[in-house]
Structure 1
């Protein structure tokens, strides 16, 4: 490690440790490297602009954010929740199951765990507490855990970012996330069922079967969005970025015209909130592009790859070690930073060891999502605390069992790559 790179890392960790936003820490650390190396600060601007102009795919990020915020507005969330209640509310721990199924449904619309937790999550927490069967902490914990599914089932903002740094196909990444997302939902529902029987949670009043077609019809237009997205991408009609634009337009038409639940003022509020969220992600992306230039200048990926080849590391051992590192980093870093800054370091080694990059990417993103509920930095825990007022201590007390089953699902995905790659291979992926 050169002195310049050491100064870069020391500055980054010092500023982040002082509580500054991670994007600012990355940017200042990169600037310190350029100054110490005697390079022009203008290089940062060139790297940033080149990275943005050559990444048309990044347009999908703000578009998916807009679509998610629109779908969380008005009566769209209510209609989808009623459908989920009719579907699984009749079983023991019914509203817990509804919580997980609602996340599975919304994951096909938002691509954002935070949007899921702050939108439909807030509503379902209120329903669970009002029913009198669940504690506040349990309702918040299962909501946080199920919200991690949001970026796994397509569309997915983290997968867009991973595609940017790994040059893999977004279409195949989206396909590869479907079965892992369903697996995460399944293990959470099994855990909810076990806890419900153990604690004696009551059943909800079942929705009569004759009412099910009416409830489904009310939610059907919203349920069509994932189908439209997937058909557009895999039917060759749209690129993933164009599909994001279609999703945003469809959500707007649905909320404003079909359901008539979105006013002009509400739409303006959504655009402002979406711009702020996009800007926050954009700052991290910009910092990561410059930091990646620093890492490339130091040839860190090449050194890691050469060291691993010299050690003759088994691919599975390497895969497990990287995921353990990501799991630990998830306790202190946000998912965007891990995807844009940490994961690129291991991609050359993955290629050298013959690890499929689509499989690696999906597993790494699942791992990053688990980090969203891992204390002390679990951002979803803070989001739910902010929107509901439920104390963090109560949420953290209940999160551990859900965290354990999600780590179990992660281990299954690592050891059984066919779960991730079956759908992509079915549609022509050669990996």
Structure 2
């Protein structure tokens, strides 16, 4: 039912609702159960308020001059090396990820600016610029804040704060690996060395970027200092982005602010419909005892935690080529959670693995959403983007293997802040 309705073009949230209602009809159950589960899920999850607030913060970052100032800072920092603008792309994603929590926001906002810089005067091919932008954009939802991690917390009942901490190490690992791959590709293709920013200019460039650089600091200090909850931190991030864009930098007019609010509202509504559909469908999955059935099947195969995580990685990467990350997190992941817990896999570790998989899926052929986004920005055929992206996908798989089979990469920082775990 879900596949058929999705094929004819119905949004996945509506498809989930439709499948749930058909199941209730066939089972001769009260149709109001679907509405009841949606209301309970939406109004009983305070954490969901963080999603529209992070979306708004990212949109304000994009419409204001914050992205430009951050990019200038990154260019001064690493632009002096061979393939420097590629390194700038990755570092900018690492920094911008501390503000948006969205891979698409990273690619559309910061990515559009850096692609224009990379392709100016023919320094880099548009396809290569698009490929490294797509690869680096996936770091956005891994380093906090992270909208996908908020969704995982919703279905797994884990701490958002510890999830955010768990994403920092893996995000940095992936960033370093991407920079290594870019350095290697830069030598193969003999990419140019940009003119370095004089050291005497560094204080000025840094000073201009400080208000923007303070946003992730405010978020992290607020959450882990016990001052704010993640949802309150999201509200603070949106307010901070609005104030510095509108009053400090004066780069956002009243009309632009209104348009940004409308765009954020549309994006929030889209996510909200998907969450509501997933809440109704998850009731069906629970009633049919699908998680218990899968758990029994996997236990019958004598899989240990390594084999299980290998299986999960393969399945999520395959699904990531076809489905959007939110659908996987809300519908597929709850099915695997009981088995992961029974095998002694830490829920924070498992959550980060899931998020990394779904983010790689955004850049994986044939239907990765980031592929279409960057191909649209660069005006290049999607197959050219894919060809240039393959080396980066290979290095991302290495990073995924490290994150999967070396749990301490994820858990050392949460444990440092008192996380017990499994």
TM-score (norm 2): 0.98
Deviation at 1:19, TM superposition (A): 3.2
Provide the rounded CA distance (Å) in 2 between the counterparts of 1:282 and 1:325. Answer: 25
Residue 427 of structure 1 corresponds to: 417
103, 108, 111: which one aligns with 1:121: 111
**Structure 2 residue 382 is matched with structure 1 residue 392:** yes
Aligned to 2:334: 344
- Whether 2:130 is the aligned partner of 1:171: answer no
Partner residue, 1:7? none
**What is the aligned partner in structure 2 of residue 226 from structure 1?**
216
- Secondary structure of 2:345's partner? coil
Structure 1 CA distance, aligned partners of 2:53 and 2:110? 19
Partner of 1:65: 55
Correspondence for 1:255:
245
Shift of 1:131: 4.0
1:268 aligned residue: 258
Distance in 1 between the 2:217 and 2:71 partners?
Answer: 18
- Partner Cα separation in structure 2 for residue 206 and residue 93 of structure 1: 12
User: What's the offset of the Cα at 1:212?
Assistant: 0.4
Question: Which digits, 9 at most, give the CA deviation of each residue in 1:361-406, with x for residues without a partner?
Answer: 0011001000000111110111223344333222112111111111
Cα distance in 1 for residues equivalent to 2:300 and 2:181: 43
Superposed, 1:92-241 pairs within 5 Å as: 92-241=82-231
8 Å contact 1:136–1:394 — kept in the other structure?
A: no
Which 4+ runs in 1 deviate beyond 4 A?
Answer: none
Provide structure 2 residue ranges, at least 5 long, that are not aligned to the other structure.
Answer: none
Shift of 1:124: 0.4
Q: 1:290 aligns with which of 280, 292, 308?
A: 280
Residue among 280, 293, 307 paired with 2:297? 307
TM (norm. structure 1) is 0.96
List runs of 5+ in structure 1 lacking aligned partners: 1-10
1:186-234 Cα distance to aligned partner (Å, 9 max, x none): 1110000000001100100100011001000000110011110011001
Distance 2:17 2:378 in 1: 33
Distance 2:122 2:193 in 1: 11
Aligned counterparts of 1:150 and 1:311: Cα–Cα separation in 2: 36
Contact 2:127 2:378 in 1 (8 A): no
**Greater shift in the superposed pair: 14-23 or 349-358:** 14-23
Aligned pairs, number: 421
| CA deviation profile, 1:22-57 (whole Å, cap 9, x unmatched) | 222211111111111111221111110011111010
Q: Which whole-Å deviations, capped at 9, do the CAs of 1:303-350 have from their partners, x for residues lacking one?
A: 222333343321110111011100010111110000000011000011
Match runs of 1:6-85 below 5 Å: 11-85=1-75
2:357 corresponds in structure 1 to 367
Distance 1:223 1:96, change over 3 A: same
Write the distance in 2 (CA, Å) between the matches of 1:329 and 1:310: 24
Contact 1:76/1:255 (8 A) holds in 2: yes
- 1:376 aligned onto 2:370: no
Distance in 1 (CA, whole Å) between partners of 2:383 and 2:296 is 45
**Greater CA drift, 65-74 or 166-175:** 65-74
CA deviation vs aligned residue, 1:231-290 (integer Å, no higher than 9, x gap):
100100000000000000010011001111111100011111101111111111011000
**Residues 337 and 350 of structure 1: is their aligned pair in 2 closer, same or farther, counting only changes over 3 Å?**
same
Q: State the alpha-carbon separation in 2 of the partners of residues 372 and 287 from structure 1.
A: 21
Q: What secondary structure is seen at the aligned counterpart in 1 of 2:373?
A: helix
* C-alpha displacement of 1:175: 0.2
Q: 1:402 maps to which residue?
A: 392
